[in-house]
Amino acid sequence: MDESIGIRERTRGAMRGELADVALRLFEERGYDETPVDEISTAAGISPRTFYRYFGTKEDVLFADLPPTSVDLSELLTEHLSKLSPWEALHQTLRNVSERMQTQRGRWSRLLRVVNTSDSLRAGHLEQHMNLAQTLIPVIAPQLEGPASSSALRARVLVHTALTCFDTAFSHWAEHESDIEILDAVDIAFATFSNATPETR
């Protein structure tokens, strides 16, 4: 990669992070629905036009970094599928996401509180998960034995169950001041279903 491109990308990433922090603070103080992009831009010292260079919508300020959609899960999952069963590959893929989050419990806790205060944000979060599942199902389905119709159904069940395990573990970890760590929470959530998971190879 050209060094100048790398610098630009790092600068862009830093600016996105700063805008996300400003927006999160305002959402906590005033409410998500009550905080327009103009106010976020003013607080960050930029114009609304510049804001939209970094985020396509106001929702994106929160959802761009909200796990697990903040990383390329299809690529991670494909890598794990070369060595693991589909269920365990999903587990390890989402465990990788968790490793990147474990030092920022306070930030994720704040973000979830904001999401849970807005019907539109909760709906947007659910839509993101549905879209994510649609990208992972075709990756899993070819790894499952049996007729294509059966494999497609089983892939949907596995992917949606895995995302539910992750989301539940993530929410528990972020919302509760307990001794459990995110990696342990994810492992416990997946283990809850592992014995009930059918043979997938």
pLDDT tens sequence across 88-98: 999 999 999 88
What residues contact 65, with CB distance under 8 A and at least 6 apart? 20, 111
Query: Domains, the chain, ranges and CATH?
Result: 3-57 (1.10.10.60), 73-194 (1.10.357.10)
Mean pLDDT of the chain: 86
What is residue 6's predicted lDDT score, i.e. its pLDDT? 54
pLDDT tens sequence across 64-113: 766 676 568 899 999 999 999 999 999 999 999 888 888 788 888 888 88
Structure token digits, residue 70: 């903040």
**CA-to-CA dists, residue 72 to 51, 77, 91, 132, angstroms:** 24, 9, 15, 10
